[in-house]
Amino acid sequence: MGEKCFELLKAKCGEEKYERLVNLNNSKLLDFIAKYSELCNPDSVYVCNDSEEDKQYIRDRALITGEEKKLIMEGQSVHFDGYNDQARDKANTKYLLSKGAGLGSGLNSVDRESGLKEVHSYLKDSMVGKQMYVLFFCLGPTDSEFSIPCVQITDSSYVAHSEYILYRRGYEQFRKIGGSTEFFRYVHSAGVLENGASKNVDKRRIYMDLEDNIVFSTNTQYAGNTVGLKKLSLRLAIQKASEEGWLAEHMLLMGVQGSDGNKTYFAGAFPSACGKTSTAMLPGETIVGDDIAYLRKRNGNIYAANVECGIFGIIRDVNPKDDPIIWDVLSMPEEVIFSNILVTDENVPYWLGDGREVPGKGTNYSGEWYKGKKDSQGNEISYSHKNARYTVSLYSLKNGDSNLDNPEGVQVKGIIYGGRDSSIWPPVQEAFDWAHGVITIAASLESETTAATLGKEGVRQFNPMSNLDFLSITLDKYIENYLSFVKGVDVPPGIFGVNYFQKGNDGKYLTAMDDKRVWVKWMALRVNGNVGAIETPIGYIPKYEDLKKLFQKVLKKDYAEEDYLKQFTLRIPENIEKIERITGIYKTKAINVPDIFFSSLEEQKKRLEVARKRDGDYVPPAKFLAQGA
């Protein structure tokens, strides 16, 4: 960069804040900040370090700029995204790729040169009249093999405030890496604001430059599009992990307590609004993380760490009965950012499924709200958005795991995969082995769409490992990485499929919301070799007697054999249709997956056909128990 550019940056920062940049002794970092300071042209630049004073400055700025408003409870605030800026924008989230590069079919990309030109045109002078914030964070625990230093540029105090809650501070981490070029970079501008929200959402762009590990985000405030360290970072990390031999995953991390006092750690992958956070927050267990994890091999075992130290969770149906721990945090004077809920004139927040009587009026993401209010298309506006959120620190939770910040991570003994599936999977199943689980459960994961992404709800979508939206490598390479990841691992983690959304012929759910507490306990018993199982064509399922005991022990309620039969009867036609559908998807995509992939699916199909010929379309567990197959 030219000397003039650095002088301009120094003038916008002021002597003290500029020294903070210089003291990091990293020319790549300084060049990056200088370049986008010149392009975005803010009135001033505020450089944060790890101090509490800087975090408080960001909190205060969020209120001053109107991006957040205080609520009645001390420490709590509310943010409203624009009416058309309520979810991740898949269509405009793209990779910037040079000619000749490719990620396979179905993965959004744009020519790198033209994409940079476009997004730079939106960033040019986008911060005139505003302040630019420069913030430093660390993905994963600091001073760890999991650590990835990150620098965020944004003009949104809401985005900056969110990241302060969600991530570990990283200024000192940058000081330790010196002149290293191994860090992630983010540039975000909310663009023109109207009533505190992004106005020009037609120019909303979320571009990822894989060559330079930079994420660009413009004309949006919704955190899924703008909090660079979240899903946008996951895309950068997946490429880095592929090159270095580890896994970057869309996974929760939790500790399951045993009756012997021991704790078993599980990772788990679920698409949005499919029970991921509620699983991580199960009463009696501990949470390490609810969204993104890095997995590494060490000494014959697999270890994982939470990338984050906070939760950006869907608030719908959070109530005292179903999510008591989160409810307690949201009901106390803790630091919380609510988004896109209803706020009454008394500054009390309300949201869908909170168990309280709905107020007649208030303020929400559409502005002033009243019962019966409709949008310009004649659609009634809900008092709280289906994808409304809360942002809280994990340190505020009474069930936070003691190893949250352990630089060594936690040893993972099981991995859970689950989506919205009304007709195929039982509530819980276990794969025969690692490869079988990767292929028939993880890589075959499907889920019905929800309000967490833009588009039509209720559509069954293929979503391998719950990570398809975030892949920055080809799907065949991703699956190959998974299959080979356990090389050198003494005992690979058990792989399980769960289904909290199974329905009967009457369309009603077959399991209660808290039943997942039992499925998790059973999985913990399995990976520790403390309980048997029934072998079926799709894997192992629980025995009725074992579940009956667990329901009494965990939930203090009876478990009827009739319910067990409805839940665990093998639905052969639906399972065969799924195998054919998944096989067709992979063949259509022309993915060069390892030979074992299609052969494993075909073998499962043959096992199902044998069982069908012998016992019919719908086979109760007792048939397999009696036959020993």
Catalytic annotation, residues: 274
143 DSSP 8-state letter: S
Rounded to a whole number of angstroms, the distance between the first and last alpha carbons of the chain is 69
547 DSSP 8-state letter: H
Alpha helices by DSSP H, 415-569 = 434-437, 475-485, 516-527, 544-550, 561-568
Query: By three-state DSSP, how is residue 598 classified?
Result: helix
Structure tokens at 242: 């592929």
Continuous segment of H or E residues that includes residue 176: helix 171-177
In DSSP terms, which residues pair with 198 in a beta bridge? 193
How many angstroms separate the Cα of 238 from the Cα of each of 85, 245, 246? Answer: 26, 10, 9
Q: Are 319 and 354 in contact (CB under 8 A)?
A: yes
CA–CA gap between residue 467 and residue 65 (Å, rounded): 35
Using alpha carbons only, what angle is made at residue 272 by residues 267 and 273, rounded to the nearest 5 degrees? Answer: 105
Q: How many CB atoms lie within 10 A of CB 145?
A: 15
The residue type of 369 is: W
Query: By three-state DSSP, how is residue 191 classified?
Result: coil
Q: Are 442 and 295 in contact (CB under 8 A)?
A: no
CA–CA gap between residue 351 and residue 356 (Å, rounded): 9
Nearest Cα residue to 213 out of 95, 37, 91:
95
Supply φ then ψ for residue 460, to 5 degrees: -70, 125
Nearest Cα residue to 221 out of 27, 361, 70, 89:
89
Name the residue with tokens 């369309």.
507
Continuous segment of H or E residues that includes residue 549: helix 544-550
Q: Are 579 and 605 in contact (CB under 8 A)?
A: yes
Q: Are 138 and 168 in contact (CB under 8 A)?
A: yes
How many angstroms separate the Cα of 551 from the Cα of each of 264, 266, 437, 530, 535? Answer: 19, 20, 26, 17, 22
CA–CA gap between residue 232 and residue 253 (Å, rounded): 20
In DSSP terms, which residues pair with 263 in a beta bridge? 257
Q: Are 138 and 170 in contact (CB under 8 A)?
A: yes
